[in-house]
Amino acid sequence: MRTAIFSILATATLTTQSALPSDALHSKRALLGWDEAYSKAEASLAKLSSSEKIGIVTGVGWMKGPCVGNTTPASSIGYPSLCLQDGPLGIRYVKGVTAFSAGIHAASTWDRDLIHERGSFMGNEAKQLGVNVQLGPAAGALGKFAKGGRNWEGFGADPYLQGIAMAETIKGMQESGVQATAKHWTVNEQERNRDTMSSNVGDRVLRELYNWPFADAVKADVASVMCSYNKVNSTWACESDFVMNKMLKEELGFKGYVMSDWNAQHTTTGSANGGMDMTMPGSDFNEGSYFWGPQLQSAVNNGQVQQSRVDDMVKRILASWYLVGQDKGYPATSFDSWNVGQKTITGNHFTNVRSMARDGIVLLKNEGASLPLKAPKSVAVIGLDSIVNPRGANACVDRGCNEGTLIMGWGSGSVEISNLVAPLDAIKAQGQKDGTTVTSSPNDNAQQGASAAQNAEVAVVCINANAGEGYITVEGNAGDRNDLNAWHNGNALVEAVAKVNKKTVVVVHSVGPILMESWIENPNVVAVVWAGLPGQESGNGLVDILYGAASPSGKLPYTIAKKESDYGTTIAPGDDSNWDLFIDYRRFDRDNIEPRFEFGFGLSYTNFTYADLAISGAPTAGPATGDIAPGGHVDLWETVATVTAEITNSGGVEGAEVPQLYIGYPAGSGTPPKQLRGFNKFKLAAGASSTATFELRRRDLSIWKDGEWVVPSGEFTVNVGASSRDIRLEGKITV
Ligand code: NOJ
């Protein structure tokens, strides 16, 4: 696919350097409002020729420009060839960028500030490289399937958590000047047959689960939304009036533009009239055909698409460009995706990765306070997952292999890895300070692992599970995972080590849940450190937790089951008509299934107590009726009740806690027993207290009923706790 011609074309752009001084590059912009952005867009629209309009809405073709997506410039208004580039955890196809923590790991920090900062740092790198549109964040896949290949790009199996993380990420990105893209709209839960299958989903499930985080994205003024590959109720998402016009533009009041996923467009007029505003990448990967370009102009000429529809596309695209201030000296594109080169990026963005690598770690087991480690005499570090890929961190295109420590999944949502601190590197560095002998068995051979472990005071075994986008198959996994086991016989490795070492610490890097039943109760497995997909600061963040520089404060953004069937969902071999509100913990709660570790769970080195639940506000029953603004009815976003609780660090060391609020709806609502509707995160010194405040918005108490959002009347239960199953305080709201 990567032909030399395209490389030559694209190399020419490399000579255009950013003219902005560093302070302008790093400045945060006060965004325009949509009204102002639209008046500018309208003024510019009047100056455009028909062919310029078509050029703005049509990609120039796959590999025909420096970015994964490019459009034609419109010189009459000083509008550039727009550069659209992946992805959700940093900038793809450039060396020297930061490999940020994956979305799923950002979610496991439950830390709004860190998530916001991650967005702003990513956006800043995008801007430095002249990326106009960064293709992230992702809220779909949401995580209906534990094995779903791309769940790790997004923020966990709960729409509320996804929604908060989407909004913070988008705000951060757009303040830095890049346009964010919320993807993939909508119900794109599996990689298998993603571009042929239909997700046949009812109205309510769409609104309450899958569209929910996109409403947050729209409310955060996201510039663009990417329609997905799949069909929704038998119509392609990127051709669907219901999906784009009705649900996104009318219901959610989306003012930006809808771009197709790459080749997700299927017709000229259906997509245009259905509400799509930009086609990507333009020419087909294989056939070189355009649905838009000249064909869109013909459709206008013969009356199949109204000129006003094309004008609306252009206005939406231009308004988004003005919204984030890209008309004012935005850097020119300075890299070439098809000839990956080294760039110098300024800014200490790794600090965010270090914080997330640490604070996203979830401590799952810690028998007899085995952790933190205190200058042990000897540590054996075991597993291929403890080192950088011996063939080089970027040995496989788009990280399409599983060799060495896992810090991100594979596919378009990956980036080049320029700096990577692996677990073994960081443990060795710590060992030097402590006078610890560090030995290693940096492979997955169980016998070798056991012999390295047998005489060590502590054995740290690193295992992993990977997944990614379906165009790459890794070890037989075509995007979605084949099963929920650790890869490379990780269970056997842990078992062999635990057989000979009484202080075995298991470190898991994973895209999502794995089954740990064969060893989790083994008394020699004294600790389990769920280290997620931490990004380039992996080892440093791990050592912070292993050695107690910080107390673990991550919480699981999904449920870890005892067996796969407990999730109750199966990746569909064809169309999928099995959808309900009961995914992840919602199902475990309804069916009283005991998980191994529940959604929201995570241990600390200290203890927290919860007290003094207070509830104020008097929400009223009935439908939301406010005006439509970005995000939907404005009254859906109004706070209707406030819940507070006192959280005290009653243990011996400083730590951070994530108090969580789960709401149970009135009997007869048809909702899961409880749903996440709030969380806080704060650091507390030993003995200190703080008030957790949860603001419930009208939407947080609403269900989708008969075509509208309605607050049902009756008794809502208010549950505040340390996880979805560790509820410490209960109250009621009567509506
Ligand atoms: C297809 C993926 O689904 C999407 O997420 C990505 O942004 C585009 N390819 C461009 O690489």
In the chain, the domains with their CATH numbers are 22-43+50-323 (3.20.20.300), 350-590 (3.40.50.1700), 608-734 (2.60.40.10)
Pocket test for ligand 1, best of 92, 191, 261, 414 (most atoms within 8 A of CB): 261
Q: Whose CA is nearest to atom 6 of ligand 1?
A: 412
pLDDT at 75 (0 to 100): 94
- As separate numbers, helices (DSSP H) first and strands (DSSP E) second, the chain gives 18, 29
Task: Determine the distance separating the centroid of ligand 1 and the alpha carbon of 332, expressed in angstroms.
Answer: 22
Give the position, in ligand 1's atom list, of the atom nearest the Cα of 87: 7
- Asked if 114 and 359 count as a contact pair (C-beta separation under 8 A), the reply is yes
pLDDT at 61 (0 to 100): 93
At residue 186, φ and ψ (nearest 5 deg) are: -155, 170
Pocket test for ligand 1, best of 91, 135, 190, 265 (most atoms within 8 A of CB): 135
pLDDT at 26 (0 to 100): 74
Q: Are strands 224-227 and 257-260 parallel, antiparallel or unpaired?
A: parallel
As a whole number of angstroms, the distance between CA 113 and CA 636 comes to 24
Task: Determine the distance separating the centroid of ligand 1 and the alpha carbon of 366, expressed in angstroms.
Answer: 40
Q: What is the pLDDT of residues 78-106, one digit of tens each?
A: 999 999 999 999 999 999 999 999 999 99
- Cα–Cα nearest to 468, from 88, 165, 120, 173: 88
pLDDT at 477 (0 to 100): 98
Q: Whose CA is nearest to atom 9 of ligand 1?
A: 262
What beta strand segments (E) does 598-707 contain?
608-616, 622-623, 628-629, 632-633, 639-649, 655-657, 660-664, 675-679, 682-684, 689-697, 703-705
Give the position, in ligand 1's atom list, of the atom nearest the Cα of 136: 7
Task: Determine the distance separating the centroid of ligand 1 and the alpha carbon of 469, expressed in angstroms.
Answer: 9
Cα 216–150–206 angle (5° rounding)? 45
pLDDT at 12 (0 to 100): 29
Q: What residues act catalytically? A: 261
pLDDT at 40 (0 to 100): 98
Q: Give the torsion sign (CA, 382, 386, 388, 389).
A: positive
668 by Cβ neighbours in 10 Å (0-12 / 13-18 / 19+) ranks as: exposed
Q: Give the torsion sign (CA, 76, 15, 25, 82).
A: positive
CA 173 to chain centroid: 14
Give the position, in ligand 1's atom list, of the atom nearest the Cα of 69: 10
pLDDT at 684 (0 to 100): 98
Task: Determine the distance separating the centroid of ligand 1 and the alpha carbon of 136, expressed in angstroms.
Answer: 9
Taking 50 as the pLDDT cut, the residues of the chain under it are 1-19
What 3 state SS string does 296-364 have?
Answer: HHHHHHCCCCCHHHHHHHHHHHHHHHHHCCCCCCCCCCCCCCCCCCECCCCCCCHHHHHHHHHHCCEEE
Q: What is the pLDDT of residues 498-511, one digit of tens each?
A: 999 999 999 999 99
- Cα–Cα nearest to 436, from 366, 506, 374, 501: 374
As a whole number of angstroms, the distance between CA 151 and CA 163 comes to 14
> Which 8-state DSSP code applies to residue 191?
S
Ligand 1 pocket residue status of 68, Cβ below 6 Å: yes
pLDDT at 287 (0 to 100): 58
Ligand 1 pocket residue status of 231, Cβ below 6 Å: no
Ligand 1 pocket residue status of 63, Cβ below 6 Å: no
- Cα–Cα nearest to 379, from 443, 445, 423: 423
Ligand 1 pocket residue status of 86, Cβ below 6 Å: yes
Pocket test for ligand 1, best of 83, 181, 184, 226 (most atoms within 8 A of CB): 226
pTM score: 0.96
Task: Determine the distance separating the centroid of ligand 1 and the alpha carbon of 226, expressed in angstroms.
Answer: 9
CB atoms inside a 10 Å sphere around CB 549: 13
Task: Please name the residues in contact with 236: beta carbons below 8 A apart, sequence gap of 6 or more.
Answer: 230, 264, 266, 270
591 by Cβ neighbours in 10 Å (0-12 / 13-18 / 19+) ranks as: exposed
Q: Whose CA is nearest to atom 4 of ligand 1?
A: 261
pLDDT at 219 (0 to 100): 98
CB atoms inside a 10 Å sphere around CB 1: 8
Q: Whose CA is nearest to atom 10 of ligand 1?
A: 262
